Amino acid sequence: MDEILIVGNPNTGKSTFFNTLTGEKVHTGNFHGVTVSFTRAKSKFTQHTFVDLPGIYSLSPNSYEEKVSIDYILSHKKSYIICLCNNQTLRRNLLLAMELIKLGRKILIVINEVGNDISLDYNKLKEKLGIAVVNLKANKLKSFNRLFDILNKLEFTNTNSNEIDFYKIKSLCGCEYYRKLLNLNDSISQENHKYLENYIKLNYEQIDNILACCEYKSKKIIGKSKIDKIILNKYLCLPIFFCILFVIFYLTFFSVGKFLSNNLRYLIQNIIGKNVVNFLYNQNVPDFLIALTRDGIFNGVGSVISFLPQVVMLFLFLDILEQTGYISRLAFCLDDTLKNVGLSGRSVYTLIMGFGCSTTASLTARNMSDKNAKIKTALLSPYMSCSAKLPVYAVIGGAFFGAQNILIIALIYILGVIIALLMSLFLEKSKLPSNKQTFIMEFPSYQKVSIKHTLSYTLQSALSFLVRIGSVILSLSIVVWLLQNISFSLTYVKFSGQKSILQTLGEILAPIFSPLGFSSWGAVSALMAGLVAKEVIVSSIAIFNGVNTSTIAESIVLTSSAVHFTPASAISFMVFCLLYCPCISTLVTFKKELGTKWAVFSIISQFLIAYVISMFTYTLFKITELFGYVTTVICVIIFIILFYSLIHYLKRKKNCAYCNKKCK
């Protein structure tokens, strides 16, 4: 197969280039390590297959996603390589190109012209390197013509390179990856350090000479901005971050998001739903099918679909944060805080993406340099409240707390973050102590938000949400409706008067949840259904209460409903939904990325944590109701003292990973 590998430093625009070439919609962003696995696709414009690989700085891997790239390059000897460089960081990008040339691969250098204030003589560069050099803009297909001309003339034959020589050089530089390939077991010596220094310095000298001949001039300092004086200010960075989060939550859950959501709900319920049900009545369709359509499909699925605008808005804001380059700044500000709990600034990207979808977020943990930190970061992503949980907070919180719900939702999101950090600290001190992690990372420049990119990404998120609703949520809603309307003797409960399958199971499990304040079979069954996908919780509540999307909030206040709450149990239920077991797709990702052991650990630990925290929340609310605020405050203070003592014990000093002493 005529494969062309797209290789380059992180954040040079490889995925953008790949998307333009193939018409794919691979996720892109202004952060190092957005691509963590390879994607293969045929181009619409040439006869070749292109492979988008995660970014690497050189052919020495330092993290899992870098190893994916290097494994792929070394195992596909016949493939052509496009080394994608960014004209702003050309000097560093060419270091990788030099290594690929030394490896003896057929390469073509493509320079993505991002900065306009850069001068470079491309013909001289081609002459000096002795290989084809093409300059283009990765997001503009019009600039690809010269590249297509070259690609159509490529010949795919085996290279005659002696790769072993390259492996030997890298082994002398102390690279563990190549030492393993050559079965070298001796320890790293001072000679290796000196050889490494000379090897890279020599490469850079060569690059500097070439660039000097090509009259390369770059006046701009990449990643430097006057705004950073404010954004990175010690005292302002966190308030700014919280302000950004508040604005995102306010626009998503209230104002714009709520307005759009209410209108969509009206459209589904009062216009489409009513007309479809009336049509079915007029066609004399059996009652069973009408009830299934009305309660199972329109009430169940409709209750989730009406949150489409809010979910889309959340993804829109996440994309804006990612595109601008703000996440790198946040990673810089929070690295030392996160280091104390065994994470790294790089974890910020995974954790922020967790607000969108835990499954995709857990995959991004691959960019961590330390294996234990990677496991921890992935395991923590479900604690970040994902967009699927958003309908639960909006419906249940909205029913009891009205306008104050924004505060409740904000506290729930913060609780998720706090529990995640404590969990990380626990893992750091027990099973997964961090090894040496690096935080050597380039700072990307701030970028203007591309409306085209944002619209495409938002549309993609909306489509995947709708596809998920049309497949998983719709089928689950039908299953939930059937289980709620059919008894164990397979009779329709409306006529037989027997208890439904779900009610029977729910009643068996309900006593377990009575210390948490919600012991109705409906609430327990909704949580069970939510194990597959969290969106199903709200659709199940609508089905159990036999209400539509407009009246679901009113129904859960009534004690006569199958699923009902008090303010205390509502909070407890929301907290439980935030923290309990991740959905099936996240668990499948955990199994694949971290192994079965950690997937099982995630189920058990999250259930136990959710149980304990929900019980604590419910008890606290009950104490307030019975004994007033003063007693509650005293209880909280006692708890904080006990908790602080535990943290202090866990954080007792261990030997430093760098010098193996109890250093500062």
Partner 1 sequence: MKNFFLSDVKFNTQYTIANICHDIDIKIKTRLLEFGFFCGQKIIVRNKSLRNGVLLVELKNQMISLRKEEASCVVVYG
Binding status of residue 654 toward partner 1 by CB under 8 A: no
Give 226 or 652: the residue with its C-beta nearer to partner 1.
226
The residue from 201, 431, 651, 654 that contacts partner 1 (CB under 8 A) is: 201
What token pair was written down for 98?
């030099």
CB of 198 to partner 1, least distance (A): 10
Amino acid at 544: F
Binding mask 77-106 for partner 1 (x = CB under 8 A): ------------x-xx--x-----------
Q: How many residues bind partner 1 (CB under 8 A)?
A: 52
CB of 48 to partner 1, least distance (A): 30
Give 278 or 340: the residue with its C-beta nearer to partner 1.
340
Amino acid at 260: L
Tell which residue, 116, 107, 136, has the closest CA to residue 45.
136
Binding status of residue 173 toward partner 1 by CB under 8 A: yes
Amino acid at 542: A
Binding status of residue 240 toward partner 1 by CB under 8 A: no
Stretch that binds partner 1, among 227-235, 255-263, 475-483, 559-567 (CB under 8 A): 227-235
Whole-Å CA distances, 545 to 28, 496, 498, 513, 554: 42, 19, 17, 19, 10
Binding status of residue 440 toward partner 1 by CB under 8 A: yes
Binding status of residue 151 toward partner 1 by CB under 8 A: no
Binding status of residue 174 toward partner 1 by CB under 8 A: yes
The residue from 3, 113, 228, 507 that contacts partner 1 (CB under 8 A) is: 228
Give 199 or 607: the residue with its C-beta nearer to partner 1.
199
The residue from 142, 153, 226, 234 that contacts partner 1 (CB under 8 A) is: 234
Tell which residue, 348, 343, 350, has the closest CA to residue 366.
350
SS3 109: strand
State how far the Cα of 317 lies from the Cα of 458, in Å rounded to an integer: 9
State how far the Cα of 515 lies from the Cα of 561, in Å rounded to an integer: 20
What token pair was written down for 559?
């004690």
The residue from 559, 658, 661, 662 that contacts partner 1 (CB under 8 A) is: 658
Q: Residue 430 burial (CB < 10 Å; 0-12/13-18/19+)?
A: exposed
Binding status of residue 620 toward partner 1 by CB under 8 A: no
State how far the Cα of 207 lies from the Cα of 153, in Å rounded to an integer: 28
Question: Are the beta carbons of 134 and 87 closer than 8 angstroms?
Answer: no
Give 228 or 507: the residue with its C-beta nearer to partner 1.
228
Give 295 or 370: the residue with its C-beta nearer to partner 1.
370
CB of 657 to partner 1, least distance (A): 8
Binding status of residue 337 toward partner 1 by CB under 8 A: yes
The residue from 1, 212, 213, 221 that contacts partner 1 (CB under 8 A) is: 221
Q: Distance from CA of residue 408 to its chain's centroid?
A: 24
What token pair was written down for 172?
């002398």
CB of 394 to partner 1, least distance (A): 33
CB of 193 to partner 1, least distance (A): 5
Give 203 or 477: the residue with its C-beta nearer to partner 1.
203
Amino acid at 22: T
CB of 53 to partner 1, least distance (A): 17
CB of 445 to partner 1, least distance (A): 9
Binding status of residue 197 toward partner 1 by CB under 8 A: yes
The residue from 172, 334, 396, 473 that contacts partner 1 (CB under 8 A) is: 334
Binding status of residue 494 toward partner 1 by CB under 8 A: no
Amino acid at 509: L
The residue from 150, 169, 181, 196 that contacts partner 1 (CB under 8 A) is: 196
75-97 as b/e: b if 16+ CB within 10 A: eeeebbbbbbbbbbbbebbbbbb
CB of 116 to partner 1, least distance (A): 15
Please provide the DSSP assignment of 125-169 as one string: HHHHHTS-EEEE-TT-GGGGHHHHHHHHT---------HHHHHHH
CB of 213 to partner 1, least distance (A): 18
For helices 474-485 and 536-545, what crossing angle results, to 10°?
Answer: 30
Binding status of residue 60 toward partner 1 by CB under 8 A: yes
Contacts of 40 (CB under 8 A, 6+ apart): 3, 49, 50, 51, 52
Tell which residue, 125, 120, 124, 121, has the closest CA to residue 109.
125
Cα dihedral sign for 256, 259, 260, 261? positive
The residue from 237, 368, 473, 583 that contacts partner 1 (CB under 8 A) is: 237
Give 14 or 179: the residue with its C-beta nearer to partner 1.
179
Helix (H), strand (E) at residue 6: strand 3-8
The residue from 270, 438, 596, 655 that contacts partner 1 (CB under 8 A) is: 438
The residue from 37, 49, 206, 218 that contacts partner 1 (CB under 8 A) is: 218
SS3 232: coil
Residues making contact with partner 1 (CB under 8 A): 57-58, 60, 62, 89, 91-92, 95, 173-176, 188, 190, 192-193, 196-197, 200-201, 204, 218, 220-224, 228, 232, 234, 237-238, 328, 331-337, 339, 345, 369, 436, 438-443, 656, 658
